[in-house]
Chains A and B, each alone.
Chain A
Amino acid sequence: MTLPAKLLDSIASAAVREGLADAVYTRLDTPIGKLLIVQGERGVVRVGFPDERVDALLAQVAAQLGPRIVASDRELAATRDVVAAYFDGVDERLDVPVDLSLVRSDFRRSALTLLRNEVGPGHVVTYGTLAAKIGHPKAARAVGSACATNPVPIIVPCHRVVPGAGGVGSYGGGPQLKRLLLAREGAKFA
């Protein structure tokens, strides 16, 4: 596309200002590749790994939040700064509003919410422990599914959930990436 960037920015910002955008997305260069960040009115709804297909992912967001999706680095500047600060190691809290409306069940939503609120950078928790914390001690497997389908990876830190039996376990972005993120955060795990 060769439309002037200034024109595209101006259109996207006007759309946001007039309340016409169901969601806004941006692509951010990070040490793990280009992340896609999609934000709705109430917070970040989706983070896409570099190997995920952008169009498929946006179509998924459109089906849930509505089709009026625009791209704007400028409108998501605050979110970009927070995610960049995480990868720079300047501030690892990832303190941005998150909207879990793409999560399909209340159980998964409560598991992810608890994870985000209670397991900070440098820490890990097992699937079983997280299950117990939300009052379903036998639901380690279901917590695993909640993590596997987490629409907002990195920001909702499912990389900090590991198997009780040891190792890093699986990850949407691949186990190597999980290991890398945990190492960057200085987490100690078996």
Chain B
Amino acid sequence: MSRAALPPFWSLVEAHGDELLVHARRMAGEANGEDVLQDALLRALRAYPRLRHAAHLRAWLYRVTTTTALDHIRARRREVLTDEPPAAVADPEHYDDAFESLIGELPDGTQAALRLRFVEDLDYERIAARLGCSPVAARQRVSTAIRTLRTQGIAA
């Protein structure tokens, strides 16, 4: 019943693909955006029939793309640091765990901002309201955190 309500997957790709690519590039760097988006959409496709409702699909795709981007960053970081095998592909149902383990090292305020942005999918107005700062500051906090993660990924 809920299955019938899910739209054909490609209609989501057509509707949101562009902005997801922008997001993937912003998260993982210009050169990695397309790889990240491909992985993210395949992950999403794997999980798609198990979704229990057809609401908030755009926000869901954003979350999957975010997690995939963070996994890419982390995998790159490992490649640089050690000979460990690349990070196992996170089960799409547990992407929050992967997300948490990645942001665990960051300052608390930064973690909160990232969670509000990428787990709760809030806009900067609402993030600002929750954190008690201005929207500009909220945006800055998130973008600084992403830059930190990305820098660790490439250079650490």
Check A10 against B38 for contact (C-beta < 8 Å).
Answer: yes
Mask of B22-62 contacts with A, CB within 8 angstroms, 1/0? 00000000000010011001100110110000000000000
Check A11 against B8 for contact (C-beta < 8 Å).
Answer: no
Question: B7 interface residue, CB < 8 Å from A?
Answer: yes
Give me the interface of B with A, judged by CB distance under 8 Å. Answer: 3-4, 6-11, 13-14, 17-18, 21, 34, 37-38, 41-42, 45-46, 48-49
B26 to chain A, nearest CB (A): 16
Query: Given that A1-B17, A61-B8 are known contacts, is A67 also in contact with B38, CB under 8 Å in the complex?
Result: no
Mask of A52-73 contacts with B, CB within 8 angstroms, 1/0? 0001001101110011111100
Chain A residues whose C-beta falls within 8 Å of the C-beta of B21 in the assembled complex: 3, 7
C-alpha gap A7/B42 in the complex (Å)? 12
A14-22, A89-97, A112-120, A158-166: which lies at the B interface? Answer: A14-22
Query: Given that A61-B8, A62-B7, A69-B8 are known contacts, is A11 also in contact with B42, CB under 8 Å in the complex?
Result: yes
B57 to chain A, nearest CB (A): 10
C-alpha gap A25/B9 in the complex (Å)? 12
C-alpha gap A1/B112 in the complex (Å)? 33
Chain A residues whose C-beta falls within 8 Å of the C-beta of B11 in the assembled complex: 55, 58
Q: Which single member of B3, B17, B34, B42 contacts A67 (CB below 8 Å)?
A: B3
C-alpha gap A83/B30 in the complex (Å)? 40
Residue on B nearest A7 in the bound complex, by CB = B34
Residue on A nearest B45 in the bound complex, by CB = A20
Chain A residues whose C-beta falls within 8 Å of the C-beta of B38 in the assembled complex: 7, 10-11, 14
Between-chain CB contacts (< 8 Å), 24 pairs: A1-B14, A1-B17, A3-B17, A3-B18, A3-B21, A7-B34, A7-B38, A11-B41, A15-B45, A18-B42, A20-B42, A20-B45, A25-B10, A55-B8, A59-B7, A61-B8, A62-B4, A63-B3, A67-B3, A67-B7, A67-B8, A67-B9, A67-B49, A71-B10
Question: A8 interface residue, CB < 8 Å from B?
Answer: yes
Q: Which 4 A-B residue pairs are closest in the complex by CB-CB distance?
A: A69-B8, A67-B6, A58-B8, A63-B4
Check A68 against B49 for contact (C-beta < 8 Å).
Answer: yes
Give the interface centre of B3, B11, B42 by most chain A CB atoms within 10 Å: B11
B36 to chain A, nearest CB (A): 11
B141 to chain A, nearest CB (A): 30
Chain B residues whose C-beta falls within 8 Å of the C-beta of A59 in the assembled complex: 7-8
Question: A174 interface residue, CB < 8 Å from B?
Answer: no
Q: Which single member of B6, B13, B41 contacts A62 (CB below 8 Å)?
A: B6
C-alpha gap A10/B41 in the complex (Å)? 11
C-alpha gap A92/B143 in the complex (Å)? 59
Chain A residues whose C-beta falls within 8 Å of the C-beta of B42 in the assembled complex: 11, 14-15, 18, 20
Residue on A nearest B41 in the bound complex, by CB = A11
Chain A residues whose C-beta falls within 8 Å of the C-beta of B41 in the assembled complex: 11
Mask of A1-40 contacts with B, CB within 8 angstroms, 1/0? 1111001101110110010110001000000000000000
C-alpha gap A27/B77 in the complex (Å)? 42
Check B37 against A7 for contact (C-beta < 8 Å).
Answer: yes
Check B17 against A70 for contact (C-beta < 8 Å).
Answer: no
A149 to chain B, nearest CB (A): 19
